[in-house]
């Protein structure tokens, strides 16, 4: 069995592959009572969270399981009624204004996908737990930190109660190391500002700490 202290090669890449294999291929295998659980996919912007959510949901469909997907109504960057990743992969979804609307999902739906969870209200954690208790597999994707580096919306609560957590990393726009933070390029103090590469970039811990891009270039 793999552990943080030992691997066959001792390499970081091998340990990452072990984690990927252990957490990425989760399809229900219960043959008696239907049981539910919560999976959370988190990370910075441009780390592939939505892409991973779509990949899992497409596997669900291939397996012949029923699925319904939800997104916050205010996220209209790419589409009103689709979950769309930065690399243009898409899957049909239902926009909702409040997380409790997700509880209206039909009882025969086996898997529920939720994208951009950080934009939902704080009730989302309770909603996901209720859905899991009903026997649904709940897959949630969202930013774990806002542009200030603080826990974002309901994400910390979801991370605490999830059975499975996958943290993805982007690549730092400046040094090429693993990026864990989302840096905002414009001077706007609002927590929620929708945008893409024109407003945000992924940075590692060190480059994020340097702040303004002009200061960053001077110190490198």
Task: Tell me if 146 sits within 8 A of 44, measured CB to CB.
Answer: no
The single-letter DSSP state of residue 27 is -
Cβ contacts of 196-203, under 8 Å, gap ≥ 24: 196/77, 196/86, 197/46, 200/45, 200/46, 200/147, 201/45, 201/46, 201/173, 202/44, 202/45, 202/46, 202/47, 202/170, 202/171, 202/172, 202/173, 203/44, 203/172, 203/173, 203/174, 203/179
Given the residues 116, 129, 190, 201, select the one marked as catalytic: 116
Q: Tokens standing for 24? A: 């990425």
Residue 196 lies inside a defined structural domain of this protein: no
Q: Pinpoint the alpha helices (H) of 41-154.
A: 49-62, 124-133
Q: What is the CATH number of the domain that holds 40?
A: 3.40.50.300
The question of whether 116 is a catalytic residue gets the answer yes
pTM of the model: 0.77
* Nearest CA-CA partner of 124 in 206, 38, 199: 38
Residue 199 lies inside a defined structural domain of this protein: no
pLDDT value at residue 94: 86
Distance CA 120, CA 188 (A): 20
| Structural domain for 143, as ranges | 32-169
Residue 39 lies inside a defined structural domain of this protein: yes
Distant-in-sequence, close-in-space partners of 119: CB < 8 Å, separation ≥ 6: 72, 74, 75, 142, 153, 192
Residue 102 lies inside a defined structural domain of this protein: yes
Residue 178 lies inside a defined structural domain of this protein: no
pLDDT digits (tens, 9 = 90+) for 80-133: 555 555 554 667 788 999 999 999 999 999 999 999 999 999 999 999 999 999
pLDDT value at residue 84: 54
Residue 72 lies inside a defined structural domain of this protein: yes
Structural domain count of the chain: 1
Residue 85 lies inside a defined structural domain of this protein: yes
Q: Tokens standing for 112? A: 């529920």
Low-confidence ranges of the chain (pLDDT < 50): 1-23, 88, 214, 218
Residue 94 lies inside a defined structural domain of this protein: yes
């Amino acid at each position: 069995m793999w552990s943080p202290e030992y691997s066959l090669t001792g390499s970081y890449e091998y340990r990452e592959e072990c984690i990927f294999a252990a957490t990425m291929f989760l399809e229900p295998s219960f043959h008696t009572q239907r049981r539910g659980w919560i999976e959370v996919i988190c990370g910075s912007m441009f780390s592939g969270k939505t892409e991973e959510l779509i990949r899992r949901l497409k596997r669900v469909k291939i397996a012949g399981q029923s699925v319904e997907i939800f997104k916050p109504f205010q996220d209209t960057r790419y589409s009103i009624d689709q979950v769309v990743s930065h690399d243009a992969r898409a899957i049909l979804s239902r926009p909702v204004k409040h997380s409790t609307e997700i509880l209206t999902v039909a009882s025969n739906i086996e898997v529920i996908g939720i994208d951009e969870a950080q934009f939902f209200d704080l009730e989302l954690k309770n909603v996901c737990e209720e859905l899991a208790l009903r026997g649904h597999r709940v897959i949630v994707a969202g930013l774990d930190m806002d542009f200030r580096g603080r826990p974002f919306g309901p994400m910390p609560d979801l991370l605490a109660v999830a059975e499975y957590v996958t943290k993805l990393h982007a690549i730092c726009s400046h040094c090429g190391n693993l990026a864990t933070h989302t840096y905002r390029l414009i001077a706007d103090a609002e927590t929620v500002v929708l945008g893409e590469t024109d407003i945000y970039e992924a940075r590692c811990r060190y480059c994020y700490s340097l702040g303004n891009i002009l200061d960053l270039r001077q110190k490198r």
